[in-house]
Structure 1
Amino acid sequence: MDIAEVAKVSGLPASTLRYYEEKGLIKSYGRNGLRRLFSANVVERLALISLGRNAGFSLEEIYEMFTPDGPVINRELLLAKADELENKIAELTAMRDGLNHAAVCKAPNHFECPKFLRFLRIAGKNKVRQPSKLKKGDL
């Protein structure tokens, strides 16, 4: 399959395929003119990469799973990622519930609503990226 066919089948742009090849995640076996050629199993490998990316794995973590004999999955890493996803789901669920409540809350002012204030306290405990501090002479 040439790179255009792989891009069409996988839904990934050719630039991503070239980047994945540069990082060693996929490998072309030759060229047809200027187009890279890939074996048909590259689509399966790209699906595994997409699954890993969607689950929160870095490209480096995914790269480590690939061996010459095929993918080797680190089960402990899978369990750790599953725990991370579970925590993220809980955070997002709480956020959704808080926003839904705020949208229909009958309090005249949201700061008079005990449930909204609890929501704010929870949100305040989550680490938010703080802007870097300006140093003298930065302006």
Structure 2
Amino acid sequence: MDVPEIGIGEVVRRSGVPASTLRYYEERGLIASVRRQGLTRVFSVGVLEQLALIAVCRTAGFSLDEITLMFSPDGRPSPNREMLAAKADELDATISKLTLMRDDLRHAAACPAASHMECPSFRRVLGQV
């Protein structure tokens, strides 16, 4: 069975990932072209799923080295459940910290203290930085 192929221009159009980034991901071993047509890289249509996983992982804060571990040796997406759970825990901690900071900033913005430096909430924010 033949696997559908698409050129790099079509990958760029469908994924929104710039060609320079595709070339960099290929250099890093995250994706692989199946052949070249002249100077143009040609990919399996499965590269779109790979790029979607890379985008989700990048948004979540995974490094490219960590993302490499999210693929099986044949290049198919195979997310590591432990890494996903650990990143979710990390995001929960970040969300909690940012929520507290947001609440303190909102309070400081409306605080009746004569100076922000006299506002306990604002001083707490300064201590978090």
Tell me the TM-score normalised to structure 2 length: 0.86
Write the distance in 2 (CA, Å) between the matches of 1:69 and 1:5.
20
Cα deviations across residues 49-86 of structure 1 (Å, max 9, x unaligned)?
Answer: 11111112111111122122733322221111111000
Deviation per residue, 1:1-33 (Å, 9 max, x gap) = 111111111111100000000111111111222
- Deviation (angstroms), 1:88: 0.7
Equivalent of 1:88 in 85, 94, 113: 94
Q: Deviations over 1:67-125 (max 9, x none)?
A: 2273332222111111100011111111211221222222111122233233333x15x
State, as a whole percentage, how many aligned pairs show the same letter: 58
Q: Secondary structure at the match of 1:66?
A: coil
Q: Distance in 2 between matches of 1:44 and 1:64?
A: 15
User: What SS does the aligned partner of 2:31 have?
Assistant: coil
RMSD: 1.6
How many residue pairs get aligned? The number is 123
Q: Which amino acid aligns with 1:25?
A: L
Unaligned runs of 5+ in 1: 125-139
Alignment of 1:43-62 (within 5 A): 43-62=48-67
Unmatched tracts of structure 2, length 5 or more: 1-5
For residue 88 of structure 2, what is the amino acid of its counterpart?
Answer: A
Q: Does 1:103 align with 2:109?
A: yes
* SS in structure 1 at match of 2:41: strand
The residue correspondences of 1:26-41 to structure 2 (distance < 5 A) are: 26-41=31-46
SS in 2 for 1:36: strand
Q: Give the ranges of 4+ consecutive aligned residues of structure 1 lying more than 4 Å apart after TM superposition.
A: none
DSSP 3-state at the match of 1:73: coil
1:130 corresponds in structure 2 to none
Between the two structures, name the one with larger relative contact order (CA 8 Å, sep ≥ 6): 2
